[in-house]
Amino acid sequence: MLEKVIFLGTGAGMPTRERNVASLAVILNDSGDFWLFDCGEGTQHRVASVGLKLSRLKAVFITHLHGDHLFGLPGLLATRGLQGVERKIDLFGPIGLENYLDSCFDYSGTYIPYSYQIHQIEKEKFYTKRLLWKNGSDSVYCASLNHHVDCFGYSIFEENIKRNILTDKLLRLGIKPGPIYRKIKEKKQITLEDGRILKTYGFVKESKNIKKICYCSDTLFSENAIKLSKNADLLIHEATFSSNEKTEAEKSFHSTIEDAIKVARRAKVKRLVLTHISPRYHKSEENYHKWNIFKEEATRQYPGIILAEDFLEIKI
């Protein structure tokens, strides 16, 4: 069951005292298994700081090959090896990811002792939203975004079927609560202690539990971001700039607050988080004024909006 997300880096371009570069951890279950989305420089420090274990890292999804989303990956994978982790890992990202990692490991003489599978994503196949990977009850969808290099948005869709016992009906048959209830929940047919055969259909009610998270960074306003995040519980969208710096946003293929809100409204998401915030808005003294403008615009335009901060955790 998708548990929560932890923001490991929420700044754009370069790290500052306040925000590290892009990375997001998605915690998959209460054993601490997790995936990473983007892996900017220094991500492994953040992983350690929040108490996540690299042995529990099962997959990494890179949106694009810009350094603020990627430079932390070779080091993190090397550390995972030094820690003696043997579990296989899946790595997803644009074409070029494999060459980049091979070169880093070759030139630095790094040996990775566990197996890793690189799944390179071809833009041509993801012009529109499509299934990228299925892992247990989680499906990851992917679509091309609008940046000045190949860049992909991801959404995780999780569907769990919950089976609830209809206690009243069982009691009417004289079947009292006990270990037998578990069997009824799990099996199609059981034999009761008195020898009666019980077909469990009709005594169990199934309900679907659906969760959906979407991560879009970096991009101009994109229709694909809407498709990916349709009805999501949580949309994490980049907003590098406030809307009065739209020209700069367009020049650098980034979103403004307004762009991110437009996606959230049209996709009817339940919660919107803004991340990948330009260092010009980081709260150091000289920028405090600009941060206030950024924050004021976001909260005025979209009540309930969440402005990501490093180490922020959100339950799903």
What is residue 135's three-state secondary structure? strand
Instruction: For Zn ion, give the closer residue by CB, 76 or 277.
Output: 277
Name residue 157's beta-bridge partners.
139, 212
Q: Which residues of 121-144 are buried (b: 16+ CB within 10 A; e: fewer)?
A: beeeebeebeebbeeeebbbbbbb
Instruction: For Zn ion, give the closer residue by CB, 66 or 80.
Output: 66
Q: Minimum distance between the CB of residue 216 and Zn ion, rounded to whole angstroms?
A: 12
Considering only 71-79, 165-173, 213-221, 263-271, which stretch makes contact with Zn ion by CB under 5 A? 213-221
Q: Is 138 in the site for Zn ion (CB under 5 A)?
A: no
Q: Which residues of 31-53 are buried (b: 16+ CB within 10 A; e: fewer)?
A: eebbbbbbbbbbbbebbeebebe
Q: Which residues of 285-304 are buried (b: 16+ CB within 10 A; e: fewer)?
A: eebeebbeebbebbeeebee
Q: Minimum distance between the CB of residue 270 and Zn ion, rounded to whole angstroms?
A: 25
Q: Minimum distance between the CB of residue 24 and Zn ion, rounded to whole angstroms?
A: 13
Instruction: For Zn ion, give the closer residue by CB, 148 or 163.
Output: 148
Query: Is residue 102 annotated as a catalytic residue, yes or no?
Result: no
Q: Is 237 in the site for Zn ion (CB under 5 A)?
A: no
- CA nearest to 145, candidates 69, 246, 225, 39: 225
Q: Among the options 68, 150, 218, 310, which is catalytic?
A: 68
Q: Is 41 in the site for Zn ion (CB under 5 A)?
A: no
Q: Minimum distance between the CB of residue 147 and Zn ion, rounded to whole angstroms?
A: 6
What is residue 139's three-state secondary structure? strand
Considering only 59-67, 160-168, 194-202, 204-212, which stretch makes contact with Zn ion by CB under 5 A? 59-67
Q: Is 218 in the site for Zn ion (CB under 5 A)?
A: yes
Question: How many residues touch Zn ion (CB under 5 A)?
Answer: 3
Q: Minimum distance between the CB of residue 238 and Zn ion, rounded to whole angstroms?
A: 7
> Pattern of binders to Zn ion over 64-103, x per CB under 5 A?
--x-x-----------------------------------
Q: How far apart are CA 263 and CA 245, in angstroms?
A: 18
Q: How many Cβ atoms sit within 10 Å of the Cβ of residue 210?
A: 10
The catalytic site residues sit at: 68
- Give residues in contact with Zn ion (CB under 5 A): 66, 68, 218
